[in-house]
Chains A and B, each alone.
Chain A
Amino acid sequence: MVEAKINKTEPVALIKIEGLYKLFGNNPKKFMPLVHAGKSKDEILAETGHTLGLKDINLTINKGEIFVIMGLSGSGKSTLIRHFNRLIDPTEGVIEVEGTDVMKLPQKELELFRRHKMSMVFQRFGLLPHKSVVDNVAYGLAIQGVSKSERGAKAKEWLETVGLAGYEEQYPAQLSGGQQQRVGLARALCTDAEILLMDEAFSALDPLIRSEMQDQLIELQQKLHKTIIFITHDLDEALRIGDRIAILKDGEMVQQGEPEDILLNPANDYVEAFVRDVNRARALTVETVMKDPVNRITADTIGEALKQMKGFKGDYGYYVNEDGYQGVLTEEKLQAAYDDDNKAKLTSAHCEALDAISQDAVLETVIPDTLNSQYSLPVIDDQGEMTGQLSRSTLAEVLGNEEPRNR
Chain B
Amino acid sequence: MADSSWLSEVPQLSRGELRDIRKFLDTEYRDFSREYGEIIEGFFDPLLSFLVWFEKLLLATPWWLVIAIIAGLAYLSSRSWKLSLGVVISFFMIGYFGMWDDTMRTMSIILVCTLMAIALGVPIGIAMARSDRVQSVVTPLLDIMQTMPAFVYLIPVVMLLGIGKIPGVIAVVIYAIPPVIRLTNLGIRLVDKDVLEAATAYGASSLQRLIGVQLPLAMPTIMAGINQTIMMALSMVVIASMIGVKGLGQPVLKSITNQYFTLGLLNGLAIVALAIIFDRVSQAYAKRSQRYLEGMDNG
Contacts and interface: CB of A to CB of B under 8 A. Distances in A.
Physical interaction between A and B: yes
Contacts of A122: 194, 197-198
Given A129-B217, A173-B293, A124 B299 contact: no
B145 interface: no
B202 A114 contact: yes
A174 B200 contact: no
Interface of B: 192, 194-195, 197-205, 208, 212-213, 216-217, 290-296, 298-299
A75 interface: no
Contacts of B194: 122, 124-126
A180 to B, nearest CB: 7
A129 B203 contact: no
Contacts of A177: 299
B207 to A, nearest CB: 11
By size class, the interface of chain A is: 35 or more
Contacts of A124: 194
Contacts of A173: 292-296, 298-299
B295 A111 contact: no
Given A127-B195, A127-B198, A173-B299, A143 B292 contact: no
A113 B202 CA distance: 9
Nearest to A187: B202
Given A129-B292, A130-B216, A140-B203, A175 B299 contact: yes
A120 interface: yes
Contacts of B198: 120, 122, 126-128
Contacts of B204: 111, 143
B292 A115 contact: no
Interface of A: 85, 87, 111-116, 118-120, 122, 124-131, 139-140, 142-144, 171-177, 180, 187, 191, 197
B247 to A, nearest CB: 38
A126 to B, nearest CB: 3
Contact of A111 (B192, B203, B216, B293): B203
A215 to B, nearest CB: 24
A139 B202 contact: yes
Most interface-central of B198, B202, B293, B299 (chain A CB within 10 A): B202
B242 to A, nearest CB: 44
